[in-house]
Amino acid sequence: MPAIEQRGRLWAVLLPPALWLSVLLVAPLLLLCAFSFRLGIGGSLFGGWIATLDNYRTLAANPSFLELLGLSAGIACVVALVATLLAYPVAYYLVFRVRARAGVYVALLLIPFWISYLLRVMAWKVILGSGGAVNAFLLWLGVIQEPISVFFYSRYAVVITLIYVWTPFVALPIMATLYRIDRSLLEAAAGLGATPGQRFWRVTVPLSLPGVLAGAVMVFIPTVGEYVTPLLVGGSTGAMYGNLIQDFFGRSANWPLGAALAVVMLVGTLVLVGATSRISRVERFFQ
């Protein structure tokens, strides 16, 4: 077919998403970077400002901000690892035991996520809060004299809530990975005399690792920037880096400093993704 006709068709399908993404993804991120180089929001919001590194200097001068980023990354790591570990048996069960009827089982796992996340967390408060069921039970038993509040409004509460939320999700990429394992390899191992345990640890696990890692990365990235869960259950000590950014764009109104904080996290996240992308590619799932 004529080359021009081909080009025309290409542009017809390529232009809409490309344009949309340029305006609503690329441009905002570039604007964010640019904005991190100005000071304050006084005067005109977008005109007549002088470029300065002051926001980054402020960042460097406030080590607790970057430490909080490190802490948030640490929390995200723990959540990703624990959620993956907890989800692996579920994925294994659904792929290797339930097999054909996995659809229903998966659906059952997913239904709760159609209900508001906020409300489910508040419901946990009912169970774990100082007026809640666990404390009421312990008080009744006489084990404690006063309600324990550490379950709610603490950093532990943030970590536990995040693990609780992510575990069912990360089961799915793990399932996809386990499906792709060539069963003939397992049969061959059995034929060579491997026990089920050996088959699992020597064949299944190593083959599934890249995909499992990709799943963990998919949990890690949103969790680093998480700010909603700390708002709900973090109390005074459970704040994460995302809360800092949200504060500077909201109640503490210092947009450029917030932008600088956001840029630092963005760059860090992308570097991390780039580093792990050799080992695992998320896109692999979908092929």
Partner 1 sequence: MERQIGRWLVPATLVALVVLACGGEKKQPATAALTPESTGTLTVLDWAGYEDTSMFIGFHHKYPKVTVSVAFGESDADIFGKMKAGADACTFHIYTGWQPFYVRDSLVQELDTTRLSHWAEVPARFKALGQVGGKQYFVPWDWGYTSILYRTDKVPGGIDSWTALFDPKFKGHISMWDDGPGAVTVATYVKGWDETKLSEQQLAEIEKMWTDQRKLNRFYWTGEPELVQGMAAGEIWVAYAWQGAYNTLLGQGVPVAYAQPKGGRNSWVGLYGIAPACKDKDLAYAFLDEKLSSEQGVGLISAFAYGHVNPAAYKSVTDTNIVKALALNDPTVLDRTRFTPIVSEADRDHFGQLWARVKAAQ
Partner 2 sequence: MRDRAWPLPAYYFALLALLYLPLVILLVFAFNSGTILVFPLKGLTLRWFGQLFATEALMRSLRNSLLVAAGSSLVATVLATCGAIAFVRFRFKGKGLFITVALLPLYVPFVVLGVALLLLFSTLGIPRSLLTIGAAHSVVALPYAMLIVTARLVGFDPHLEEAAMSLGANYWHTLRRVILPLIAPAIVAAWLTAFTVSFDEFAIANLLVGREPTLPVYLYSQLRMTARLPLVVAMAAVVMVGTLSIFLTLIWLRRVVVRTPASAAGATSALTARA
Query: Encoding tokens for residue 217?
Result: 């990365």
- Out of partner 1, partner 2, none, what residue 236 binds, judged by CB under 5 to 8 A for its kind, is partner 1
Please provide the DSSP assignment of 125-155 as one string. Answer: HHHHSTTSHHHHHHHHHTS-SS---TTSSSH
Q: Does 269 bind partner 1 (CB under 8 A)?
A: no
> One-letter amino acid identity for 142?
G
**What single-letter DSSP state applies at residue 279?**
T
Radius of gyration of the chain (CA): 24
17 binds, among partner 1, partner 2, none (CB under 5 to 8 A by kind): partner 2
From candidates 193, 236, 274, 283, binder to partner 1 by CB under 8 A: 236
- Residue 92 CA to residue 229 CA, distance in Å, equals 29
Residue pair 195/266 in contact (Cβ under 8 Å)? The answer is no
Q: Which of the listed partners (partner 2, partner 1, none) does 58 bind, with a CB threshold of 5 to 8 Å by partner kind?
A: partner 1
In the complex, minimum distance from the CB of residue 40 to partner 1, in angstroms, rounded to a whole number: 7
Nearer to partner 2, 155 or 174 (CB): 174
Which parts of the chain fold into alpha helices (H)?
A: 3-21, 27-35, 54-61, 63-92, 102-110, 117-128, 133-141, 155-179, 183-191, 196-198, 205-224, 228-229, 241-249, 255-277
- Helix 117-128 vs helix 133-141: crossing angle, to nearest 10: 10
Q: Rounded to an integer, what distance in angstroms lies between the CA atom of residue 281 and that of residue 207?
A: 14
Taking CB under 8 A as the criterion, the residue among 80, 170, 239, 257 binding partner 2 is 170
Print the binding letters for residues 7-26 with partner 1: x by CB under 8 A, - otherwise.
--------------------
Give, as ranges, the residues between 184 and 223 that touch partner 2 (CB under 8 A). Answer: 196-197, 200, 215, 218-219, 221-222
**Span interacting with partner 2, options 58-66, 114-122, 181-189, 202-210, rule CB under 8 A:** 114-122
| Positions in 35-64 near partner 1 (CB under 8 A) | 40-43, 45, 58, 62, 64
Structure tokens at 192: 């060579």
Cβ proximity of 217 and 281 under 8 Å: no
Q: How far apart are CA 200 and CA 209, in angstroms?
A: 12
Half-sphere exposure (Cβ direction) of 219: Cα atoms closer than 13 Å:
32
Q: Least distance from C-beta 63 to partner 2, angstroms?
A: 21
Nearer to partner 2, 56 or 200 (CB): 200
When asked if residue 27 is in the footprint of partner 1 (CB under 8 A), the reply is: no
Site string for partner 1, 108-147 (x = CB under 8 A): ---------------------xxx----------------
Task: Report the partner that residue 64 touches, choosing among partner 1, partner 2, none (CB closer than 5 to 8 A by kind).
Answer: partner 1
Burial (CB < 10 A; 0-12, 13-18, 19+), residue 22, is exposed
The span of 15-23, 53-61, 151-159, 202-210 binding partner 2 (CB under 8 A) equals 15-23
Contact residues for partner 1, defined by CB under 8 A: 40-43, 45, 58, 62, 64-65, 67-68, 71, 129-131, 149, 153, 234-237, 239, 243-244, 247-255, 257
